[in-house]
Amino acid sequence: MTEGASFVYSFQSSSLDNEIEKKNNLGGDRMIEFQRVKKVYQTKKQTVEALKGIDLTVEKGDIFGVVGYSGAGKSTLIRLVNLLEHPSEGQVIVGGKDLTSLNPKELRAEKKKIGMIFQHFNLLDSKTVFDNIAMPLVLSGTPSREIKERVGELLEFVGLSSKARSYPEQLSGGQKQRIGIARALATNPSILLCDEATSALDPQTTSAVLQLLKKINQEYHITILLITHEMSVIREICNKVAVMEDGCVVEQGSVFEVFAKPQTATAKNFVRTVIHDEIPQSFLKGIGTHIPIIWKINFIGTTSGTPLLSTISKKYDVHLSVLSANISEIQETPFGNLIIEVTGDKQEVDKAYQYIKDEGILVQEVQVNG
């Protein structure tokens, strides 16, 4: 069972808030920690605060996604991890070490444990695919026989063994990113940073590259920190997400949590780009003076919504009508979104509500103003 799936299981068996608490108490293995990190850019004319005090923890084995509109500071954030940018204030702890405290030699050694892939791939056009992947190994003085072996393995892993002698300009975008991934993995890193890695790719290629990243996470146990402006990327592979806006993390948690209960307007907007759970306009227009009771129910995993609804309507004296229902996939796990209108005696309605909650299913009342 994958980590994502086991998480789903525990999510179902307890209420969401308990789950979050449990996770926090467990602590886990901390891979990347941002502690009150600020980044200020000083220009002659003005001071730009790109990051305004970030606290973030990426645990070992996570595929942690940071989503935000352009200019939110996510690009600066990811560059702080391998010190392509230096924090103005606060600390970034990677694998238990504050990289800013290391001397240049130690820093270079640490950087070999952090792979990075880029939106525009950043491959050397003057070198073959083989030489591109070999580069990090050449830099650390690996014997050429070892290099040959390792590059061969990596090419096979990304499925491009036949392209070893090609030049990057002869490859498609998706192939280039696979080469970028192979290069990033050459030194056996424990962390992979993905800087908008799929933003320059078409949807189909994006999906293939994301599946490759997932495979890396599962087979090599590499912790992944990715930044993106596409919520669909988060939905497809991440287990945790942070939403950034204007230099701050405005929301963070498990992907299920944020998708099910987005708190901020920005998070809601992002979730809406991949999950449509609006109450139909025609319904809203039809509301008179009577304010209806509307529940939003989220199902995760194989639990189907139908038995729940029929159980409730049998058990309690309530009438249910479905306003909106859809199932989307988060990390290959069905994620159901159900919006229902409930009518009936207040006592019965409350009992039904409690029943759903007791089942460990996420249910929220939706406020509708007529």
Residue numbers of the site for another protein (CB under 8 A)? 82, 84, 104, 107-112, 114-116, 118, 120-127, 135-136, 138-140, 167, 187, 193
Q: Are 295 and 340 in contact (CB under 8 A)?
A: yes
Measured distance CA(326)–CA(277) in Å, rounded: 8
Which lies closer to another protein via its Cβ, residue 115 or residue 292? 115
Which lies closer to another protein via its Cβ, residue 112 or residue 268? 112
- Count of CB atoms situated within 10 Å of the CB of 350: 14
Q: Which amino acid is at 116?
A: M
CB of 215 to another protein, least distance (A): 22
Q: Are 231 and 238 in contact (CB under 8 A)?
A: no
CB of 214 to another protein, least distance (A): 22
Which lies closer to another protein via its Cβ, residue 72 or residue 193? 193
Which lies closer to another protein via its Cβ, residue 110 or residue 341? 110
Which lies closer to another protein via its Cβ, residue 58 or residue 362? 58
Q: Are 77 and 246 in contact (CB under 8 A)?
A: no
Measured distance CA(356)–CA(364) in Å, rounded: 10
Which lies closer to another protein via its Cβ, residue 35 or residue 122? 122
| 204 phi, psi to nearest 5 deg | -65, -45
CA atoms within 13 A on the CB side of 110: 21
Strands (E), 174-312: 191-195, 223-228, 240-245, 248-254, 293-300
CB of 252 to another protein, least distance (A): 25
CB of 255 to another protein, least distance (A): 26
CB of 178 to another protein, least distance (A): 15
CB of 116 to another protein, least distance (A): 4
For residue 49, give both structure tokens: 């605060």
Q: Are 279 and 255 in contact (CB under 8 A)?
A: no
CB of 86 to another protein, least distance (A): 12
For residue 281, give both structure tokens: 């306009």
Measured distance CA(42)–CA(304) in Å, rounded: 54
Which lies closer to another protein via its Cβ, residue 139 or residue 291? 139
